[in-house]
């Protein structure tokens, strides 16, 4: 062993010791943060005003996107509605206008990067700079790996995560310039735990959760703390995309219930929203519980839905 190698190893060991000592000295601060968090549970959070903000919602022609548009309309926001479904989009816009909001519709294919970029240019020219971006558009295919066609896997990632990159790249610069804005990522509980026969969907939603977390850290590193981020992670929702879903965690959620939690989370600037809130605890437990116990717990949760199985077991 050379002298240089010994020096390098000694230096690395010294750094590790310094890190553990520094971490130990943070324990009193940890206790303060825990107490602070517990106190916040009993103190109503201040809700910010979003009156006059330009809100862009992808996937606004149905389900969560449509209901989110209605709630922002009630808050006197100017709405930019994107969806590939023109009829659904127009229905959403009509109701938003009845609620007293201005609503601009754009038929956009969120699986197409160039369509996203060209539509973003039109929005800036015709409506103005978006200050709240809700990346909600999503697709899901309920099938095992072998029954999920290659184009379906590609589309899942194009819509569920790559579109988040393209919309954020298009609208975030102006938010950063003003140090004001909000990026909302609609992910899923499936972005925190694996579910059989939702392989492509889970993978894309894990990526969406990672996108939200990394973007949050990047904005902090760039000192653009006026641009807020929120990630929504709900359980099964009654939108018709997944057939006959059930779980022992409770009944299938209605869009109105989920969107009420989302809007409250945006207005109080929550970073991560689980619906139901018990998913927060389960997500934490998955990080600390032994693997064998987790397997039993998942069987107890008993997630079920209709799915296409391409793999054929022997004897069947």
Q: How far apart are CA 60 and CA 85, in angstroms?
A: 9
Hey, what's the torsion of the CAs at 58, 60, 63, 67, to 10 degrees? 110
Rg (CA), the chain: 22
Q: Which residues pair with 183 in a beta bridge?
A: 133, 229
- Cα distances (angstroms) measured from residue 199 to each of 147, 196, 205, 240: 11, 6, 10, 19
Tell me the two tokens of residue 225. 């703390």
Per the CB < 8 A criterion, the answer to whether 200 and 152 are in contact is yes
Q: How far apart are CA 252 and CA 245, in angstroms?
A: 7
Alpha helices in 76-198 (DSSP H): 86-98, 113-126, 150-157, 163-178
Report the residue count for the chain: 316
Q: How far apart are CA 116 and CA 29, in angstroms?
A: 45
Told to judge if 141 belongs to the known catalytic residues of this protein, a careful annotator would answer no
Which residues of 238-281 form beta strands (DSSP E)?
Answer: 272-275
Catalytic residue among 7, 117, 201, 311: 201
Q: How far apart are CA 187 and CA 190, in angstroms?
A: 8
Please state the φ and ψ torsions of residue 136, each to the nearest 5 degrees.
-115, -25
Hey, what's the torsion of the CAs at 273, 209, 54, 75, to 10 degrees? -10
What lies within 8 Å, CB to CB, of 227 at 6+ separation is: 172, 175, 176, 179, 180, 181, 182, 183, 219
Catalytically active residues are 201
């Amino acid at each position: 062993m050379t002298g240089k190698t010994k020096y390098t190893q000694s230096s690395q060991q010294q750094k590790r010791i310094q890190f553990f000592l520094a971490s130990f000295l943070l324990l009193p601060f940890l206790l303060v943060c825990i107490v602070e968090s517990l106190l916040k549970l009993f103190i109503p959070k201040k809700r910010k005003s979003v009156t006059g903000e330009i809100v862009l919602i992808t996937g606004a022609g149905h389900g969560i996107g449509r209901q989110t548009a209605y709630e922002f309309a009630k808050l006197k926001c100017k709405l930019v509605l994107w969806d590939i479904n023109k009829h659904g989009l127009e229905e959403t816009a009509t109701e938003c206008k009845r609620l007293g909001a201005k609503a601009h519709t754009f038929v956009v294919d969120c699986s197409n990067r160039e369509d996203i970029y060209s539509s973003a240019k039109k929005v800036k020219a015709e409506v103005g700079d978006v200050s709240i971006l809700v990346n909600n558009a999503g697709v899901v295919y309920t099938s095992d790996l072998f029954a999920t066609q290659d184009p379906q896997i590609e589309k899942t990632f194009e819509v569920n995560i790559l579109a988040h990159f393209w919309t954020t790249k298009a609208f975030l610069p102006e938010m950063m310039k003003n140090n004001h804005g909000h990026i909302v990522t609609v992910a899923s509980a499936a972005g925190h735990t694996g579910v059989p026969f939702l392989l492509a969907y889970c993978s894309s939603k894990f990526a969406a959760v990672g996108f939200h977390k990394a973007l949050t850290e990047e904005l902090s590193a760039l000192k653009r703390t006026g641009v807020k981020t929120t990630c929504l992670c709900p359980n099964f929702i009654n939108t018709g995309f997944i057939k006959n879903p059930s779980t022992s965690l409770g009944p299938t959620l209605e869009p109105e219930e989920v969107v009420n939690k989302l809007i409250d989370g945006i207005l109080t600037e929550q970073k991560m929203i689980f619906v139901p809130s018990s998913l927060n605890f389960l997500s934490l437990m998955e990080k600390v519980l032994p693997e064998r116990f987790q397997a039993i717990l998942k069987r107890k949760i008993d997630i079920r839905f209709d799915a296409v199985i391409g793999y054929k077991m022997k004897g069947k």
